[in-house]
Structure 1
Amino acid sequence: MGKTSRDKRDIYYRLAKEYKWRARSAFKLMQIDDEFHILKGVTKAVDLCAAPGSWSQVLSKRLYEVDENAKIVAIDLQPMAPIPGVIQMQGDITSEETANRVIEHFSGEKADIVICDGAPDVTGIHSLDEFMQAELILAAFNITSHVLKNDGTFLAKVFRSRNSSLLYAQLKKFFKHVYLAKPRSSRQSSCEAFVLCKNYDPPAGFVPTMKRTQLDVTDPAELSADVIDGFVTCGDLSGWDSEQSYSLDIETSYPKGSEKDASNQYEFKDVVQPPTEPAYKEALAMKKMGIFSKLEHDLEKAHKLAVAKEGAERQEKSQEEKGNIGLDDKLVEGIESIVLDN
């Protein structure tokens, strides 16, 4: 496939490069904000699992346009390239020390909003991926309970499943309103959605802790799915379709419908900010050195040799059963040499 193939079939990936967003997920946060106005009046924001930084870019753009004194803290285990106006912390969201450092950056005050677009490295085993994502949301909530002010907002990615209602019911104990949002830029074929929790109001006597392993629900009646205030699809039919392929000569603007000029022609662009320290960095270096190709060649050769030996042994056994002399060793050596030469 050519370099432009993904630009054709993923319009939001292409638009992200056109408008200097670090990832297509920037459009997801913008569309949720356009629908729910979650950034209105926000002066202190926390972005969990922030790398590569597209949601922090959106926060920076939208908050500083209204209040130049706004503060944004971005946290991730991986290092992240700098973003103007964003305080970056390389740390663990399951650590209470990280929570205390966030509050220090806000001069002892708490955040108006906490957002989290984090997700595990998916395995393809759906039930396992759902479990790991739920554990990540729990970790995000634990630190949120330390740094979010009363009446604040929490937004996190979820993987929808038949057991999702339990998570929504649990969050409903801590927030007055819980919505499930599906931005238009999120593919319909994906189980991804975003749980939006507004008006943080923890139960009386609730003590934040990083050691919580579950969000307790004491009343079984609370487990019904009707605790969600609504499932909202963010975006309208005039926008771009994340499932559709587009030709390269279309107008690359957001939102769709602005005037086209001669300078707005297709031009391939590299990603805005590649990963600074990816977990697969060593694997990429090995691939460039051709180590994987050599391993593949050696494995293929070993497989051919094993198959040849197995065939020779079957032939020898067959001859022995017929009372013939065993297969000549020279014939076996000849088979091995043919396989190894190939």
Structure 2
Amino acid sequence: MGRSSKDKRDIYYRNAKEEGWRARSAYKLLQLDETFHFFEGVHNAVDLCAAPGSWSQVLSSKLEASVIELMDGKKAELVVCDGAPDVTGLHDMDEYIQAQLVLAALNITTHILKEGGTFVAKVFRGKDIDILCKQLELYFDKLCLAKPRSSRTSSLEAFVVCNGFHMPPNCRPSLFNPLLNPDSCLQWDSLTEEERVVLPYVSCGDLSGFDSDCSYPLNMQGHAPYQYREPVQPPINPPYEHAVKLKRANMLQQP
């Protein structure tokens, strides 16, 4: 796929480069905050799985304290996680692996998030999403699933916004045995159908704004003429780099 065709297909990809964001996912966090306002009152925040770093950019632009500075022993009021595995296309497996990643992020969160804090994480919606939500519900007072406008409709991704963090009674999470400490009294395997939870599901972002599934012309009325821009954060040692070098070398050798 050529550069111009990719830019034309994805307006958020193009706008991210124009505005200096490292990835289009910055708009997802911005649109989530437009609905839930979880930046309010936050001084310390932690971004898990922070690559290429667009969510860290958003946090740095919104919060008073820099997220890269040490917090002097204080706990964070907000933890965000936009991490995801390489998808296989097998939805059940992808949902399971993503759920395990969220639980691993939750385990870290229990060590660094203050009481009453907020946790925002990417999830994959599937038939067992309610079980993951039930697990999260043990740690938070209020949960909601959200779909930002900049997230493609065709994607299974959504974001769970968890407010009001509290540690369950007798729970002692351990990084060596995440969320499975026998003293924690959190018996995941004993959840029944009646205990499954269905969360509210909301859309975030201006519904009259750009549609992430539509194609837009490179030169749009009311906008400056299109100009190609390099990515703010190019890939570091991408796996295809060696193949590209070989192809270029072969092309130079051809008469």
Same fold judged by TM-score > 0.5?
yes
CA displacement at 1:18 relative to structure 2: 0.8
Residues 13 and 287 of structure 1: CA distance in aligned 2, closer, same or farther (over 3 Å): same
CA contact (8 A) 1:44 1:111 kept: yes
User: Partners in 1 of 2:212 and 2:191 — Cα distance?
Assistant: 40
The 5-angstrom pairing of residues 97-136 of structure 1 reads 105-136=70-101
- 1:190 maps to 155
Q: Is the 8 A contact 1:27 1:185 kept in 2?
A: yes
Moved more, 207-216 or 21-30: 207-216
Structure 2 residue 177 is the aligned partner of structure 1 residue 220 = no
Q: Secondary structure at the match of 1:212?
A: coil
SS in 1 for 2:162: strand
TM-score normalised according to structure 1 size? 0.67
Paired residue type of 1:274: P
Q: Residue 148 of structure 1 aligns with which residue?
A: 113
CA distance in 1, matches of 2:16, 2:187: 40
SS in 2 for 1:38: coil
212, 220, 233: which one aligns with 1:250:
220
Q: Which runs of 5+ in 2 are unaligned?
A: 181-185, 251-255
Q: What's the CA shift for 1:109?
A: 1.1
Alpha carbons 1:169, 1:222 under 8 Å: kept:
no
Q: By how many angstroms is 1:154 displaced?
A: 0.3
Structure 1 contact 178–197 (Cα < 8 Å) conserved: yes
Q: CA deviation at 1:212?
A: 2.2
Q: Distance in 1 between matches of 2:79 and 2:194?
A: 25
Q: CA RMSD in A?
A: 1.9
Inter-partner Cα distance in structure 2 for 1:201 and 1:241: 37
Measure, in 2, the Cα distance between the counterparts of 1:43 and 1:277.
34
SS of residue paired to 1:55: helix
In 2, Cα distance between equivalents of 1:247 and 1:140: 39
Asked if 1:274 is matched to 2:229, the reply is no
> Contact 1:117–1:156 at 8 Å: present in 2 too?
yes
Q: 2:245 maps to which residue?
A: 288
Distance 1:21 1:14 in 2: 10
Question: Mapping of 1:225-236 within 5 angstroms?
Answer: 225-226=197-198, 228=199, 230-236=200-206
Per-residue CA deviations over 1:95-126 (Å, capped at 9, x if unaligned) read: xxxxxxxxxx2111101000000000112222
Q: Which has the larger radius of gyration?
A: 1
- Asked if the contact 1:71/1:106 (under 8 Å) is kept, the reply is no
Q: Deviations over 1:155-181 (max 9, x none)?
A: 000011011000111111110001001
More helix by share: 1
Letter in 1 for 2:72: S
| Number of matched pairs | 242
Q: CA deviation at 1:249?
A: 1.2
Q: Check 1:213–1:110 CA distance in 2 against 1; reply closer, same or farther (3 A cut).
A: closer
Would the alpha carbon gap of residues 45 and 128 (structure 1) be closer, same or farther in structure 2, given more than 3 Å must change?
same
Paired residues of 2:11 and 2:215 also in contact (CA < 8 A): yes
After TM superposition, the score normalised by the length of structure 2 is: 0.89
The structural deviation recorded for 1:220 is 3.1
Q: CA 1:288 to 1:219, structure 2 compared with 1: closer, same or farther past 3 Å?
A: closer
Residue identity in the other structure for 1:120 = P
Please state whether the residue corresponding to 1:4 is helix, strand or coil. helix
Q: Distance in 1 between matches of 2:245 and 2:237?
A: 17
Aligned counterparts of 1:7 and 1:290: Cα–Cα separation in 2: 24
Read off the aligned partner of 2:52 and give its amino acid letter.
P
Deviation at 1:222, TM superposition (A): 6.0
- Matched to 2:242, the amino acid is A
Q: Determine the structure 2 residue equivalent to 1:79.
A: none
| Amino acid in structure 1 at the alignment position of 2:227 | E
List 4+ stretches of structure 1 deviating above 2 A: 212-226, 275-278
